[in-house]
Amino acid sequence: MTDPRTYQPSKDALKDRVILITGASDGIGKAVAIAAASHGAQVVLHGRSVRKLEAVYDEIVNAGAPRPSILPLDFEKAGPEEYEKLVAALEQEFGRLDGLLHNASMLGERAPIEHHDVAKWMRTMHVNVNAPFILTRTCLPLLKKSADPVILFTSSGVVSSPRPFWGSYLVSKWASDGLMSMLAQELEKQPAMRVNSINPGAVKTNMRLQAYPAEDRSKLREAHTIVAAYLYLLGPDSRGVHGQTINAQ
Ligand SMILES: NC(=O)c1ccc[n+]([C@@H]2O[C@H](COP(=O)([O-])OP(=O)(O)OC[C@H]3O[C@@H](n4cnc5c(N)ncnc54)[C@H](OP(=O)(O)O)[C@@H]3O)[C@@H](O)[C@H]2O)c1
């Protein structure tokens, strides 16, 4: 099997694939969106901040890659009908969806369970677990219209090595991997559909700074250097990889 971490995509590896990337306005999602577009993908940029999404849009267009689309939605506030509208817009523009990368997440509060703020816990679980569930459910009919659909969830090192005080973030990443594994089994009889998780490892982003404010950031990988495994899992070269959690580093 190809090592996803050292995968070298061809220039057209993702040509004409329609890929929705959540949290594409910053950090890892932004880097994956730019890389996917540079390999021919028609990326749909999701995030909260329209200003930040427009900056990613400009970067992609200025590089001569396929013109992306922008679909802002705040997962904390959106109701089911807003997800329906988002998917209706995708259906109208493209008629199908080839890839769905669940990348957006929030860190939430880190505190002992005894003192964890209940409202903050619920917000994190909503953005990190409920939103990917609702978006997956709403996008499945459109994914089934693709000849080679993929769904990619985002895992974390807290799943393989749980630790105290990581609160709702840790539990949300366990839940996200559980959702991935369950969905992969449910879709086993639809061999074209691939469902996996990716653990990016330590990456120099705003979330990482929030999680480890005192660490030496000069040793961290930049987001654009860890995208190979993402491109592999979002493209046709990963056919046959299903129900797995893959490390990007
Ligand atoms: N960085 C690491 O070291 C690391 C390690 C393990 C796992 N991860 C995972 O990798 C993924 C990306 O993390 P990152 O470090 O790139 O984070 P980041 O730089 O903080 O970016 C987070 C993205 O999620 C979006 N987002 C946050 N809350 C949202 C909401 N309520 N509604 C819609 N979008 C929302 C943000 O949009 P706005 O820009 O509009 O706020 C942003 O685009 C996450 O799933 C994270 O758990 C990261």
Q: Read off the pLDDT of residues 147-172 as tens digits, 9 standing for 90 and up.
A: 999 999 999 999 999 999 999 999 99
Q: Does the Cβ of 108 fall within 6 Å of ligand 1? A: no
Atom in ligand 1 nearest the alpha carbon of residue 207? 20
Q: For residue 89, give the CATH number of its domain.
A: 3.40.50.720
Shortest-distance Cα residue to atom 34 of ligand 1: 47
Amino acid at 31: A
Query: Is residue 62 in some structural domain?
Result: yes
Gap from CA of 65 to ligand 1 centroid (Å): 24
Ligand 1: centre distance to CA 173 (Å):
13
- Band of residue 225 on the pLDDT scale cut at 50, 70, 90: very high
Structural domains counted in the chain: 1
Question: Tens digit of pLDDT for each residue in 25-42?
Answer: 999 999 999 999 999 999
Taking alpha carbons only, the member of 155, 133, 29, 27 closest to residue 78 is 133
Residue 239 lies in a domain: yes
Q: Is the CB of 206 under 6 A from ligand 1?
A: yes
Residues spanned by the domain of 222: 4-243
Nearest CA among 31, 93, 57, 78 for reference residue 221: 31
Q: Residue 189's pLDDT is what?
A: 84
Expressed in angstroms and rounded, the spacing between residue 184 Cα and the centre of ligand 1 is: 23
pLDDT at 232: 98
**Residue written as tokens 């990007």?**
248
Q: Is 21 in the pocket of ligand 1 (CB under 6 A)?
A: no
Determine whether the shortest distance from the Cβ of 186 to ligand 1 is under 6 A: no
User: For the stretch 205-217, what's the b/e string if a residue is b when 16 or more beta carbons lie within 10 angstroms of its beta carbon?
Assistant: bebbeebeeeeee
Give the residue-averaged pLDDT of 212-240: 97
- The SS3 of residue 100 is strand
43, 48, 50: residue to mutate for ligand 1 pocket, most atoms within 8 A of CB: 48
Residue 50 lies in a domain: yes
In a domain, 248, yes or no: no
* 249 assigned to some structural domain: no
Model confidence at 73: pLDDT above 90: yes
Task: With a cut of 80, say whether residue 1 has pLDDT above it.
Answer: no
Residue 205 Cβ contacting ligand 1 at under 6 Å: yes
Phi, psi (deg, nearest 5) at residue 149: -80, 145
pLDDT single digits (tens) 85-133: 999 999 999 999 999 999 999 999 999 999 999 999 999 999 999 999 9
Residues forming the active site: 169
Alpha-carbon span 7 to 123, nearest angstrom: 36
26 lines ligand 1 (CB under 6 A): yes
For residue 160 and ligand 1, the question of a CB distance below 6 A is answered with no
Closest ligand 1 atom number to CA of residue 25: 43
Q: What is the DSSP track for 163-231?
A: -TT-HHHHHHHHHHHHHHHHHHHHTTTSTT-EEEEEE--SB-SHHHHHH-TTS-GGGSBPGGGS-HHHH
**Ligand 1 center–CA 142 separation, angstroms:** 25
Q: Which residues pair with 151 in a beta bridge?
A: 100, 195
Q: Looking at residue 151, what is its pLDDT?
A: 98
Q: 191 pLDDT exceeds 90?
A: no
pTM score, two decimals?
A: 0.98
pLDDT tier for residue 212 given thresholds of 50, 70 and 90: very high
